[in-house]
Amino acid sequence: MNFLLKTDFKAVCDEPTLGVIDQADDNNLARAEKYAIEEISSYMRSRYNIALAFSKSGDERNAQLVMITCDVALYHLIAWLPKRIGFEIREKRYEKAIAWLKDVQAGKATPDIPVMTDESGKDIGTPISYGGIERSEYGY
């Protein structure tokens, strides 16, 4: 795991349950994290520098993004379990995470994540630009 720490899952799942969900194999957890990161990125990539957001570590990470990533990863882990033990709560949290991502995508929610910029540092992630050209004065 690169972005998430195993301790991050304590906010959304207790340790014994996590051991059952990931089938006591950290490789399953790492694989689910990769799936979650890609799914989240697909919602935010056009507006935010999501690669930069996921490259941060420790307290530099956005807390909401950490929680959403945990929820989505756990949802994918539950899908691998026989009889989908505990699926209902994971499904609800997953749906809530996706709803938040759709709000971010629509501009209804604005997370503290760096926006896409060009080489000069100008914001290119905001879908609407405003303003005009400099006023011209013509004297004849």
DSSP SS3 for 92: helix
Give the pTM.
0.81
Q: Distance between CA 2 and CA 57 in Å, rounded?
A: 8
Counting beta carbons within 10 angstroms of the beta carbon of residue 35, is it exposed (0 to 12), middle (13 to 18) or buried (19 or more)? Answer: middle
Nearest to 51 by CA among 36, 37, 63: 37
The H-assigned helical ranges of the chain are 15-21, 26-44, 50-55, 63-80, 87-106
pLDDT tens, position by position, 14-72:
888 787 777 777 888 889 999 999 999 999 998 899 999 999 999 999 999 999 999 99
